[in-house]
Structure 1
Amino acid sequence: MRIGIFGAGGMAEALGGRWSGHEVMVAARDRAKAEKISARVGTWEETARASDVILLAVPAPSATEVVAAAGESLAGKILIDCTNAVGPGAVLTIPDQAERIAAAAPDAHVVKAFNLCHVDVWRMTPPVFGGRPLAVPLCGPPEAVEVVSSLVRDLGCTPLNAGGLDRARLMEATMAFMVGLWFDGHDAQACFPPLPA
């Protein structure tokens, strides 16, 4: 698969490095950092045009600006939003982030994914806890979710179809709530009983 990555920070490096079996191209403001992820580097537009799927891994406040810069080259592409707009006190600073991105790229197929875990989890090969692979919820159009599910499996994780993009706001709020618990030293995972219960 041809994967574009917008950004060259931690999430771009962690996920981009794990998708080495694919053709990866990176666009970022810092070309030197982008080249550490992939030898193939381009502008936002060039990277979008050359890709089937694009991971949007830029700071949340810059996301719609970057999407606008990519412009019409995003038409028909799958755009994975892994951004988190969380400020001090684990409060959402930009509500409905995925839907804002979808509005900025109306001809792209936006999928919210990879936003619930710290970047170090994505560096694990694979992320398995207590013998159970990490589950990754995906919100977006069904056909796009199916494509992104294959990328989740490539990481050794289990994809979960969590519904349409309208449910991404729930995932974003869940992330902020759980991060608040983790920052306070609580085992947030212990809030949920296993499925058989």
Structure 2
Amino acid sequence: MLRAGSWAGRRRVSRAEGLATRLGGGAKAAGLREAAAFGDVVLAALPFDAGAGVVGQLCGPLEGKALIDCSNPVGPGFRLLTRDGRSAAERLAGAAPGVHVVKAFNLCHEDVWRMAPPVFDGRPLAVPVCGDDEPSLARVRRLVRDTGCEPVPGGGLERAGLLEATAALFIGLWVGEGADAQAIAPPLAYATGPVRG
């Protein structure tokens, strides 16, 4: 689903052509407005300091669509840049009323999404999804499944900041400490305490 009808949008179409070539699968290059107008779901992979401004300029073509925010507002020292308490996803939603922002796909490096499918130790990757609009959430969950992953309900968009904080923690552990962040959480059977026999 993702590659069958994808558009690569950038401010300069010449740069979008390179991105479309890297994506493959028939992706087409376009300017931002044309790419935003295509399809029911748009993936916003934007730097934190530019996201709200870019999305605000694209309100018309994005109206009524699911806009996936995969950004991580992480700065020096692996600290969150969202000091005022509003997540990057909430900022996008505030900049574009009528656009249904969904937070997803932010916990993995881009190379993980090149895996077909991303499966680790026999388990498909779980992808938390946060948002408020049920039809948009359904579209994003379907997209998650199309990538071979398993969607996990993350709650409303007000919980997107928790995903962003999780990403900051994971990036700090992976890059800063060389630690295996996956080893942090016990299996579900042990999540509420020791298993009693």
Q: TM class, shorter-chain normalised?
A: 0.7 to 0.9
Give me the whole-angstrom Cα distance separating, in 2, the residues matched to 1:161 and 1:154.
Answer: 16
Between stretches 23-32 and 114-123, larger displacement belongs to: 23-32
Contact 1:45–1:71, Cα closer than 8 Å, also in 2: no
The alignment of Structure 1 onto Structure 2 pairs a total of residues equal to 179
Q: Does 1:90 align with 2:78?
A: yes
Determine the structure 2 residue equivalent to 1:191. Answer: 184
Determine the structure 2 residue equivalent to 1:155. Answer: 147
CA deviations on 1:20-43 (whole Å, 9 max, x unpaired) are: 23x112210242332231553333
Give me the whole-angstrom Cα distance separating, in 1, the residues matched to 2:27 and 2:106.
Answer: 26
One-letter amino acid of the counterpart of residue 10, structure 2: A
Determine the structure 2 residue equivalent to 1:117. Answer: 108
Q: Does 1:20 align with 2:14?
A: no
Give me the whole-angstrom Cα distance separating, in 2, the residues matched to 1:94 and 1:34.
Answer: 29
Q: Does 1:33 align with 2:15?
A: yes
Contact 2:13–2:31, Cα closer than 8 Å, also in 1: no
Determine the structure 1 residue equivalent to 2:93. Answer: 102
Determine the structure 2 residue equivalent to 1:133. Answer: 124
After TM superposition, the score normalised by the length of structure 1 is 0.85
CA deviations on 1:126-155 (whole Å, 9 max, x unpaired) are: 111100000000000232111101111111
Determine the structure 2 residue equivalent to 1:173. Answer: 165
One-letter amino acid of the counterpart of residue 26, structure 1: A
Between stretches 58-67 and 123-132, larger displacement belongs to: 58-67
Q: Helix, strand or coil for the counterpart of 2:29?
A: coil
Give me the whole-angstrom Cα distance separating, in 2, the residues matched to 1:30 and 1:130.
Answer: 41
Contact 1:26–1:47, Cα closer than 8 Å, also in 2: yes
How far 1:51 moved relative to its partner? 2.2
Give me the whole-angstrom Cα distance separating, in 2, the residues matched to 1:75 and 1:186.
Answer: 41
CA deviations on 1:43-63 (whole Å, 9 max, x unpaired) are: 322222232111001222211
One-letter amino acid of the counterpart of residue 45, structure 2: A
One-letter amino acid of the counterpart of residue 89, structure 1: G
CA deviations on 1:64-86 (whole Å, 9 max, x unpaired) are: 12102213221111100001111
Q: What is the percentage of aligned positions where both structures have the same residue?
A: 51
Greater Rg, structure 1 or structure 2?
A: 2
Q: Helix, strand or coil for the counterpart of 2:108?
A: coil
Structure 1 runs of 4+ aligned residues shifted over 3 Å read: none
Contact 1:145–1:161, Cα closer than 8 Å, also in 2: no
Aligned CA RMSD, in angstroms, stands at: 1.6
Unpaired segments of 5 or more residues in structure 1? Answer: 2-18
Between stretches 157-166 and 69-78, larger displacement belongs to: 69-78
Q: Helix, strand or coil for the counterpart of 1:26?
A: strand
Contact 2:128–2:153, Cα closer than 8 Å, also in 1: yes
Give me the whole-angstrom Cα distance separating, in 2, the residues matched to 1:160 and 1:116.
Answer: 13
1:46 to 29, 34, 51: 34
Unpaired segments of 5 or more residues in structure 2? Answer: 21-25, 191-197
